[in-house]
Amino acid sequence: MSYATLRTLLASWGELRPQPASDWQGTLPLPQALADFYAQVGPWGDIHDATAGPTGLSLQLGGNPLDIPPLCKLWALQAGYRWNAIDGKPIAAWRDHWLVIADQGADPVILDTANGGVLFAFHGAGAWRPRPLAASLEIAFGGLATMANTMAELGDAAFDDSAALCATARNAVAASLAAYLGSDVEAARFLETLDW
């Protein structure tokens, strides 16, 4: 997938602005995949408060929003995963080659810097057991944006009177995702990883 395609998929979720690698605040080297993503796509979002800076993008998938931060806030997103947000101590169960790149209600989307794959994990399970989501950052964010765009097109019709996701919405998202990923099998696996 090209970055131009990914920009198109993410464009409706907020401002996209190229962000240089110098915006990275981390103590680890910025992985090239992330440097390229932020330089070419650049999820920036809105600025509601000048002191807080850009918000990043919030994709609506039907539950908690999936938040993709701007590069200047990506390292701060590691708090609670890589280190304890209260005392700053490293969290032993977190692997050094994992880097949180997005978050959905404290469920992290993780770049595995050892192989370039993207993982997804649920918090509160007692231990981190991330599952493979996509072979690359571009595929992962493209798939998530495809889901969000389909949900946006469905609007309120995606939910029944009890605010539960309708079967027709699930089917529409699965079909859009299959078209994006190239197969029903890949779409089903992607959705299963997200427990969607």
Which portions of the chain are predicted below pLDDT 70?
A: none
Please give the pLDDT value at position 92: 85
Please give the pLDDT value at position 93: 87
Q: Are 182 and 135 in contact (CB under 8 A)?
A: no
Buried b (16+ CB within 10 A) or exposed e, 23-56: bbeeeeebbebbbebbebbbbbbeeeeeeeebbb
pLDDT tens digits, one per residue of 9-31? 999 999 999 999 999 999 999 99
pTM listed for this prediction: 0.95
Please give the pLDDT value at position 16: 98
| 6 exposure class (CB count in 10 Å sphere: 0-12, 13-18, 19+) | buried
Buried b (16+ CB within 10 A) or exposed e, 75-104: bebbebbbeeeeeeeeeeebeeebbbbbbb
pLDDT tens digits, one per residue of 88-101? 899 888 999 999 99
Ordered by start, the domain boundaries in the chain are 3-106, 140-193
